[in-house]
Amino acid sequence: MSEFIYLASQSPRRRQLLEQLGIRYELLLPDDGEDSEALEVVRPGEAPATYVQRVTGLKLDAAIARLARRGLPPAPVLCSDTTVARGRTIYGKPEDDRDAARMLRDLAGATHRVLTAVAVQKGRTRRAALSATTVTFAPMSARDIAAYVATGEPRGKAGAYAVQGRAAAWITRINGSYPGVMGLPLHETAQLLRAFAVAPT
């Protein structure tokens, strides 16, 4: 049984969710020379589910190489990626406040999907899962959107919002995994980790 896993994510929310499961982890973050953002480029015509699973796989490839390069002790490595989609339109992290406002205008008063892919690897064995959740937003006025963007919360968030933050005031319905919308679906993650003999406490 593995006593800990490596978490290859800079997201504080994913750390919090692993702690909620009682999973011991060590961070396996990119080196200064690694261009993590380049892994998240969307291919033309790429479906959202295909995209988020491909990006998660690329992140895990990079993390496994990082583990070997650093000569660290073996343990399962976990990667995850989240994207927001309406139809085939992918809403990643906003480039700036104007981009965040554009995304929120598109999502306001509508239902969208939040797709979170999780992948775990130890040695040559890799397992992966995909969580899909639908989220419905109430209508938002231009003033509502401007006020929310001004909080800074949309920065670095897929779809320009944080479900666990102030955006919750505008969410009327969630059908699926709430932690999956945060960035790490706990049921799927626990199942993957059990396959590597890592049991939530």
User: What is the pLDDT confidence band of residue 201, given thresholds at 50, 70 and 90?
Assistant: low
How far from the centroid of its chain's Cα atoms is residue 139's Cα? 25
- Exposed / middle / buried, residue 40 (Cβ in 10 Å: 0-12, 13-18, 19+): middle
Which of 86, 155, 149, 152 shows the shortest CA–CA distance to 115? Answer: 86
Structural fold of domain 5-195 = Maf protein (3.90.950)
Query: pLDDT tier at 3 (50, 70, 90 boundaries)?
Result: confident
Q: Which residues make beta-bridge pairs with 158?
A: none
pTM of the model: 0.93
d(CA 65, CA 69) in angstroms, rounded, equals: 6
DSSP class of 3? S
Instruction: Report helix, strand or coil for 80.
Output: strand
Residue of 31, 81, 96, 97 marked catalytic: 81
Distance CA 196, CA 73 (A): 15
For residue range 19-59, list pLDDT tens digits in order. Answer: 999 999 999 999 887 777 778 889 999 999 999 999 999 99
Confidence at 175, pLDDT banded by 50, 70, 90: very high
Question: Is 35 a residue of the active site?
Answer: no
* DSSP bridge pairs for 7: 27, 78
3-state secondary structure of 201: coil
pLDDT at 37: 74
Question: Mean pLDDT for the chain?
Answer: 94
